[in-house]
Amino acid sequence: MKLESSNPAMKAFEKTENLSLGPTDQFVQDESQRMTINGTINKTGILIVIAMVTGAWGWSKILTSPGLLMPFFWASLIVSIGCFIALWKRHDWAPVVAPIYAAVQGVFLGALSGLLDSFYPGIAIQAAVATMATVIAMLIAYRTGIIKATPMFKKVIVTAIMGIMLFYGISIVASLFGVHFAVNDFSNGSAMSVGFSVIIVIIAALSLILDFDFIERGATEGAPKHMEWYGAFGLMVTIVWLYVEMLKLLAKLNND
């Protein structure tokens, strides 16, 4: 049997459209050992708490040492890639890998939020509220069937995500040579730059539908218990991305 991976971030590290379950990922009959929606929600909550705790530390450090932002960024990027590759190889490592991801991302997000909040007071809480509201809205849209994770919907969103990831990858490499793309600048409040961010926020929000679909199907089809952490990891990746894009959009609007 196969359980299709619907998280766009994980798509970049998969060879096929379907996520094949290996020897440690066989569907199980024992209900106590099966993935559940509530279990995945609880584990997502744990990851969020971990990120908040480490985020508080990152926030406090950046206020006294602003130069730490880029080291934190590179550490988060390298660890993220490592986590994606690890879970691509072994899904049963998710109980260990997911908390590590949340902890490292928390430090970077806390530092980024603290730095931006020093320039635009209140932007961090605004971004957090906007992100939470978006997650809730997308969950309602998914549960009520307003937005359905059809095969075409998945292909469109995943294609869009891959394009954005490619753009960001090129941007990072270009920045090493002193080349910066204006539309990706936090301080660029032009209509084009703001519009670009709005589009990315919409795509990030819609990608939550794919995460919800993956979690629901995993629970329904009897995926093993450790897949709760895998599902939580995928959802956390999207939430982190959405929060960063919210911060960027709000920063641009403040520079309009």
Over residues 201-245, the pLDDT tens digits come to: 999 999 999 999 999 999 998 899 999 999 999 999 999 999 999
Residues 101 and 209: their CA atoms lie apart, in Å, by 21
Confidence of residue 180 (pLDDT cuts 50, 70, 90): confident
Percent of the chain with pLDDT over 70: 88
Over residues 3-40, the pLDDT tens digits come to: 444 444 444 333 333 344 444 445 555 667 889 999 99
Instruction: Please compute, for residue 174, the number of CA atoms within 13 A of its CA located in the half-sphere on the CB side.
Output: 11
Residues 103 and 47: their CA atoms lie apart, in Å, by 8
Tell how far CA 189 is from the center of its chain.
24
Position 7 scores a pLDDT of 45
Position 1 scores a pLDDT of 37
Predicted confidence (pLDDT) at residue 250 exceeds the cutoff of 80: yes
Secondary structure (3-state) at 106: helix
Predicted confidence (pLDDT) at residue 253 exceeds the cutoff of 80: yes
In sequence order, which residues have a C-beta less than 8 Å from that of residue 234 and are 6 or more positions away?
A: 5, 6, 7, 9, 10, 211, 214
